[in-house]
Amino acid sequence: MPAKTHKRRLKQTLFFGAFVLVLSYLTYVQNYGNPPHLFWDENYHVASAQKYMSGTFFMEPHPPLGKLLIAAGEELLQKNEINDQFIGTNYGRKLPADFSFEGYRLFPTLLGWLTAPLLFIVFLLITKNPLLSTLLTFPYIFDNAQIVHSRGAMLDSTMIFFAVALILLFILLLRCKDRPKTFSLLALLFGAFFGLIMATKALGLIMILLVPALFIRLLPNWNKIFRFSLYAFLGFIFCYVSAWQIHFSIATTLEPTLENDGYFQASEEYKSIIDAGQTSVPAAFFIQWRDSIKFLNHYSKGVPELNLCKPVENGSAWFMWPIGARTISYRWETSDSEKYRYLYIVPNPAGWWAGIVAVILAIGLLAASVFLPLRQGLKNPYLLLVFVGMYLSYMIAISRLDRVMYLYHYFLPLIFSYILIGLVFEEIKTVGKKKVTRYGQIIGLLLFSVLIFGAYEWFRPLTYYEPITNEQFERRNWVRLWDMHCVGCERNSVLVNTKKD
């Protein structure tokens, strides 16, 4: 590539990258302290964060990193003079009128925001076109559901940020497998980010499928496989163990009002470690980690199954997720009983539905490449196969779970479907008898982006807690399977009848 062309391409990349950064800041970060109230799992996670800040011992159904970051945000910003309202409970309820959420929500919001530029880089590696890459990030930048969830003190945006970073590293590893030093560094980072995922949320385990996917491309070079395994293992162990060790070292003081006099489900060995003040001793790590994992299983047994007949059920079946069902009302309030503010996890239908269409088209392209003679081979058949496999594997695994699951548990495969949108777009060479040029691709993506932005604006009041009337709410109830319902309105589920005879 000539120097002038390279310089121009670099300027374009920096310009569009900055544009993505600013645009996603406006959707994900701006005024993230609103609403100034607890919603959804913030009741649990703010309570856990306060235990970290006070050094109170506790056990939780999730690994520690996400909650450590929630606590770190409050420690960093120091927005509240008092942060001990919930150390004696696992579920926070009442807060002072002047309580600020800006610290607690800081890192989930920032990581939700910074996922957008990471996706931009992923698409840049796929398309090699900064403008196309920018437009392909629009489904994420303007996804109303992920915006709402990421702006709360919760765990999913943290996990997704690490997962997208892992996807980026996977693609770079495929491209740098013949550069030993770069390959080794990328392998170390790959292991580190996988460790961060597993230290945040167990659902991220699906990302381990990228390891065999990489091994297949490295075969038959066993030396490269060994080098990757060694460096990735070192990165994983350092980050995963460090997160747990920080948790054990901080949460040391017993609070008698909590479960089992503050010991939760700790074994006798673990209790002895706590009583002796040796939780930070490396030799005690395994016992503490073992009991913490056991508590996760203990908690999971108490989670109820999905019951769509319950009038207050917010859970949904996995097969409903691709169309955005069922939506969840996180909270609402009104000052005059005429207009209501809602915080609703509702999808951007343009992006979500394009995602499932991309999954179906990707399966079709892969099948056609095997069973039908194509004039031109696929540009990225392996990446298509990997992300279709990741998507289907996640959905199959989730379908095997008995416990209730929620719409936001679809966010990770949704990211896979967004990547498939870009991959499928790269494979479209003709429409009818007309050849699709780069200019045609740009026009198509521009039209798609307009649809995404229009849907985002339409559902904006439910995303940013803006007042609307019941009539305005009902105009946004596009799909009956979404099961959206305004205050005082009947639920309109088409699957079950929640009314009592």
Do 352 and 459 fall within a single domain? yes
In-domain check, residue 463: yes
Q: Among residues 217, 249, 281, which one ends one of the domains?
A: 249
d(CA 368, CA 335): 58
Do 243 and 337 fall within a single domain? no
Which residue is it, tokens 């840049």? 124
Do 203 and 101 fall within a single domain? yes
Q: How confident is the model at residue 431 (pLDDT cuts 50, 70, 90)?
A: low
In-domain check, residue 164: yes
Quick one: average pLDDT of 164-169? 98
Which of 220-229, 246-255, 411-420, 434-443 shows the lowest per-residue confidence on average (mean pLDDT)?
434-443
Q: Which domain holds residue 385?
A: 318-482
Which of 331, 325, 313 minimizes the C-alpha distance to 464?
A: 331
Determine the longest span between alpha carbons in the chain, in angstroms: 77
Better-scored residue on pLDDT, 398 or 501: 398
Quick one: average pLDDT of 102-127? 97
Do 359 and 223 fall within a single domain? no
Question: Residue 351: is its pLDDT beyond 80?
Answer: yes
Question: Residue 433: is its pLDDT beyond 50?
Answer: yes
Quick one: average pLDDT of 235-240? 98
Do 49 and 162 fall within a single domain? yes
d(CA 173, CA 15): 26
Better-scored residue on pLDDT, 1 or 257: 257
Do 90 and 228 fall within a single domain? yes
Secondary structure of residue 430 in the 3-state scheme: strand
Do 73 and 201 fall within a single domain? yes
In-domain check, residue 64: yes
In-domain check, residue 290: no
Question: Residue 498: is its pLDDT beyond 70?
Answer: no
**Nearby residues of 154 by Cβ (< 8 Å), 6 or more positions away:** 40, 41, 42, 45, 66, 108
Do 214 and 343 fall within a single domain? no
In-domain check, residue 432: yes
Do 59 and 186 fall within a single domain? yes
pLDDT score at 458: 97
pLDDT score at 313: 82
Give percent of the chain above pLDDT 70: 96
Spatial contact of 321 and 407, defined as CB atoms under 8 Å apart? yes
pLDDT score at 372: 82
Quick one: average pLDDT of 354-369? 95
Quick one: average pLDDT of 411-432? 90
In-domain check, residue 460: yes
pLDDT score at 501: 47
In-domain check, residue 409: yes
Do 237 and 90 fall within a single domain? yes
The per-residue pLDDT for range 393-414, each reduced to its tens digit, is 999 999 998 889 999 999 999 9
pLDDT score at 492: 65
The per-residue pLDDT for range 187-212, each reduced to its tens digit, is 999 999 999 999 999 999 999 999 99
Quick one: average pLDDT of 66-88? 93
Tell me the whole-structure pTM to 2 decimals: 0.94
pLDDT score at 99: 92
- Concatenated DSSP letters of 303-336: SPBP-TTSTT-----GGGGGGT-S-EEEEEEESS
- Concatenated DSSP letters of 438-499: HHHHHHHHHHHHHHHHHHHHHTHHHHTT-EEEHHHHHHT---GGG----TTPPP--SS---S
Quick one: average pLDDT of 341-348? 95
d(CA 364, CA 341): 43
In-domain check, residue 92: yes
Which of 205, 219, 128, 220 minimizes the C-alpha distance to 166?
A: 205
pLDDT score at 1: 57
Which residue is it, tokens 């009038």? 311
Amino acid in the structure at residue 334: T
pLDDT score at 497: 57
Secondary structure of residue 41 in the 3-state scheme: coil
Q: How confident is the model at residue 161 (pLDDT cuts 50, 70, 90)?
A: very high
Domain count, the chain: 2
Q: In what order do the strands lie in the sheet with 339-345?
A: 328-334, 339-345, 467-469
Do 189 and 83 fall within a single domain? yes
Q: How confident is the model at residue 424 (pLDDT cuts 50, 70, 90)?
A: very high
Do 245 and 340 fall within a single domain? no
